[in-house]
Amino acid sequence: MKILFLTFYFQPDLSAGSFRNSSLFDSLSSKITSADSIDVITTSPNRYTSFKVKSINFERVGENISVRRIKVQNQKGGFFAQIKSFRVFYYEALKFAKQNEYDLVYASSGRLFTAFLAARIAKKNKAKLYLDIRDIFRETITDVYKNNKIIFYLLDFFIPFIERYTFNKADMINIVSPGFRNYFDKNNYGKKSVFQSYTNGIDDLFLNSVKENILNTSKKKKQIIYAGNIGLSQSLEKTLPYVANKLYETHEFHIYGDGAGKENLLSEIKISQCKNIFIHKPVNRYDLVDIYNKSDILYFQLAKLDAFLRVIPSKVFEYSVYGKPIIAVVSGYCKYFVEKELIGCYTAEPDNVENIVEIINKIKPDQLFERKSFIKKYSRSNINEKMSTSILNT
């Protein structure tokens, strides 16, 4: 069986999509026989302009496995820069795929169009199609542009045609959050598809990095850590400078990341004269281990948009390993999920500064949590084992 593995983000890039698909690829590679082959088509690292790492444009991982990285520009400049980058990826990937014949096309897609590309390639090859859907793109993008009526109506009119074509071609659709399923049912998408939900999970790197939970006793102020994207999806600028000001005497916020919302955050920090937020460049995951271990509280949030009522951020799983209190500024399915599944995760209302401050102040000093059952259930290796098997059985 000849397999095409499509993902916009892949190792050594930094993003949830890269971590998910790189580890899944390893699991899938270990299962194929000498008669099978895998072609990975992805991009060169481009998630952050402030994180630069060398990568090989083409490499053979084994006799029957290859990875082809298409060079695109870094993801600075927002939505239209991303369109430009994806256009390059789309045409280059299509050009390479036309030179081969595939029995199975796998695609992981957070912005719909990687899945659309996969559907086109699968149709041409009369191949099976397995889609891993990491986001509901239509809801996300129309929420972002809801105040621009022209763009909103164009997107809301155009995207359903792409969705219908893409999802109705799929033999198997995996959704990373069970909260997505209602969207597919409501729109009658994936009529011939088998649905399943393999969520994001906890990578072995983090599982193997904690021999014992470490309390931070060397700092006078409690260290609150946010590590990840600084973008429209998080809207950190709407809350953190004002939360931090109210906690100036007791807490510091350390933010590791980059993204389209960074300048907005820096502007709000300056306007509010906030002195206890420190923004650091993105770091690789090995360095994050030490940062997490030395933290007091781990923090994540999603913007107050309808699009995020269905999602479960990958940080939920990564943070869970360290036993530290977690602040989740979320609503919708994610709020339900963490309150049901994750001990020591405190939820606060998006955009509600007073509520976030109140929740942080409720956390007892030097508190640690035992999360063995959650960690076992959501180990990435366990999830990948099941998911790679389901791909081969499509």
Q: What is the DSSP string of 298-333?
A: EEEE--S-GGGGS---THHHHHHTT---EEEE--HH
The tokens describing 23, both together, are: 């580890």
Torsion of CA 366, 239, 112, 53, to 10 degrees: -60
Which stretches does DSSP call E strand in 185-296?
A: 194-196, 222-227, 251-256, 277-280
Q: What letter would DSSP give residue 184?
A: H
Per-domain boundaries in the chain: 2-201+379-392, 204-377
Spell out the per-residue pLDDT of the chain, length 394, in tens. Answer: 999 999 999 998 878 899 999 999 999 999 999 999 999 999 988 776 656 667 788 999 888 999 999 998 765 556 667 788 889 999 999 999 999 999 999 999 998 999 999 999 999 999 999 999 999 999 988 887 788 888 888 888 999 999 999 999 999 999 999 999 999 999 999 989 999 999 999 998 898 876 555 555 556 899 999 999 998 889 999 999 999 999 999 999 999 999 889 999 999 999 999 999 999 999 988 899 999 999 999 999 999 888 889 999 999 999 999 999 999 999 999 999 999 999 999 999 999 999 999 999 999 878 899 999 999 999 999 999 999 999 999 9
Using the structure block, give the residue that is written with the tokens 């990341």: 257
Using the structure block, give the residue that is written with the tokens 């949830």: 16
Name the residue among 15, 75, 233, 74 with its Cα closest to residue 144. Answer: 233
Say how far apart CA 75 and CA 17 lie, in whole Å. Answer: 14
The overall pTM is greater than 0.85: yes
181 close to 195: Cβ distance less than 8 angstroms: yes
How far, in whole angstroms, is CA 227 from its chain's centroid? 12
> Helix (H) and strand (E) counts for the chain?
15, 14
Cβ neighbours, 10 Å, residue 371: 22
- How is domain 204-377 classified at the CATH fold level? Rossmann fold (3.40.50)
Bridge partners of residue 233, in order along the sequence: none
Question: Which strands sit side by side in the sheet containing 297-301, from one edge to the other?
Answer: 277-280, 251-256, 222-227, 297-301, 326-329, 345-348
Checking DSSP bridges between strand 172-175 and strand 128-133, what pairing results, if any?
parallel
Say how far apart CA 389 and CA 384 lie, in whole Å. Answer: 8
Say how far apart CA 317 and CA 389 lie, in whole Å. Answer: 22
Computed over its alpha carbons, how large is the radius of gyration of the chain?
21
> 228: left (phi > 0), else alpha (psi -120 to 50), else beta?
left
The tokens describing 181, both together, are: 């399923």
Do the domains spanning 2-201+379-392 and 204-377 agree at the CATH topology level? Answer: yes
Does 12 sit behind a cis peptide bond, omega within 30 degrees of 0 on the bond before it? yes
Q: What letter would DSSP give residue 222?
A: E
389 close to 31: Cβ distance less than 8 angstroms: yes
324 close to 251: Cβ distance less than 8 angstroms: no
Say how far apart CA 5 and CA 391 lie, in whole Å. Answer: 11
Domain 2-201+379-392: assigned CATH number? 3.40.50.2000
